[in-house]
Amino acid sequence: MRLSQFFLPTLKETPSEAQIVSHRLMLRAGMVRQLSAGIYSWLPLGYRVLKKIEQIVREEQDAIGCNELLMPTIQPAELWQESGRYEDYGLEMLRITDRHDRNILFGPTNEEVITDIFRKEVKSYKQVPQLLYHIQWKFRDEIRPRFGVMRGREFLMKDAYSFDIDYESSRHSYNKMFLAYCRTFSRLGVKAIPMVADTGPIGGDLSHEFIILAETGESEVFCDKTWLDKDLTGKGVDLNDRTNLEGWVQTTLADYAATDEKHEAENCPVSGDDLIATRGIEVGHIFHFGTKYSEPMGATVLGPDGKDVPVMMGSYGIGVSRLVGALIEASHDENGIVWPEEVAPFRVGLINLRTGDDACDAACEDIYGKLKNAKIDVLYDDRDMRAGGKFADMDLIGLPWQIVVGPKGLANGVVELKNRKTGERSEVTLEAALNQIGA
């Protein structure tokens, strides 16, 4: 992509409405713009990151055999009356009346809709387990939308649902999802610690929140410092071996980690310097809630003994749009964002120090073509403006690699290669630069 043709409205000044660094940087880097309280438009740079995160989340759901579908954003009130949550959900639910005076709502979550799909289509124990998910916009009329996309009113969530015949099988589904979450966050380049959590209005008996430690987080959290070095990549775990998977989950969870609702100072097994008491950002939440919805909504299957039993369910959310902000909270410096490779909007930023100079233009075109041929996402700053502004913008938007092309270097047959994360710069031949970034 050529920057002269890319819609990238960066800001030099720090926007006064933004209280935390990720929100400031997302505005300054031209990633999002607020349309109304807690409602954002995703501009091209931000949208590229959102889609990359979404794709990693998707791949890890697919990898555990979870089937992707897409449910609507608008739901009928009747379904929520059946589950008993229409009144309970309170003011966070955006209630709407259509032209026929029917009560509808913009979905804050999808337990009711998925349970309705399940009960209509699945009749026998032979058709479970089922693992289903979608990635869809949600609306919650948050009392205090803030921190940009971190606590929006409209936000993108991955929500998955499991249906099983009995507790053992249902627990296995929960464990699979636990593994998928560990793998997802590892791939995203962040440490998200699973913490024992309250189940809240969704209800249930087993629940973990995945939390990225950050001073700017909204939750107070407590954990053993061993979490900081723990490997959560889930390598070598056998998904289909219940005992192996359960063993891995139990070992992983052996060290203490809890949100403030569950933390009791007097009963905490770790203390002193071993206990980290800080704040965190909730990026995922998994619940096992048994028959809470299947019972009132009549989602039963015929068991092997010929008797109808309500299915055991779980639900599993990831805040896809919140993650964009959370990743920035976890990875930035005084000059701007520092994207992990996996989610960077482009892998390489190519800076032409003297647009209009024949040699510089020709060299940049050559590099641009080579990177494109190698299928490496590149943003080429071909704008006719001074170098300082180009450097500042490139650091601000945080692409992992920068290739800087200027007349002096070209005369000596070299370009400058900069690693955004380490700040390391080297004068190398074009071939060496391309080699180093894997082109």
Which residue is closest to Mg ion by CB? 285
Q: How far is the CB of 90 from Mg ion (least distance, A)?
A: 15
Min separation Cβ 207 and ligand ATP, Å: 9
Taking CB under 5 A as the criterion, the residue among 23, 119, 153, 285 binding Mg ion is 285
By CB under 6 A, name the one of 50, 157, 301, 433 that touches ligand ATP: 157
Which of Mg ion, ligand ATP, none does 310 bind, CB closer than 5 to 8 A by kind?
none
Of ligand ATP, Mg ion, none, which one does residue 322 interact with (CB within 5 to 8 Å by kind)? Answer: ligand ATP
How many amino acids of this chain bind ligand ATP (CB under 6 A)? 15
Specify the residue, 322 or 418, whose C-beta has the smaller distance to Mg ion: 322
The yes or no reply on residue 282 touching ligand ATP (CB under 6 A) is yes
Nearer to Mg ion, 48 or 285 (CB): 285
Nearer Cβ to ligand ATP (144/386)? 144
List own/partner pairs for 9-18 with CB under 8 A and 24 or more apart. Answer: 9/43, 10/393, 10/396, 10/397, 12/392, 18/148
Residue list 95-154, contact with ligand ATP (CB under 6 A): 109, 140, 142, 151-152
Whichever of 285 and 418 has its CB closer to Mg ion, that residue is 285
Question: Which residue among 40, 106, 139, 155 contacts ligand ATP (CB under 6 A)?
Answer: 155
Q: What is the spatial distance between Cα 5 and Cα 403, in angstroms, rounded to a whole number?
A: 19
Closer to ligand ATP by Cβ: residue 145 or 400: 145
Q: Which of residues 288-347 bind ligand ATP (CB under 6 A)?
A: 317, 319, 321-322
Query: Interface residues with ligand ATP (CB under 6 A)?
Result: 109, 140, 142, 151-152, 155, 157, 282-285, 317, 319, 321-322
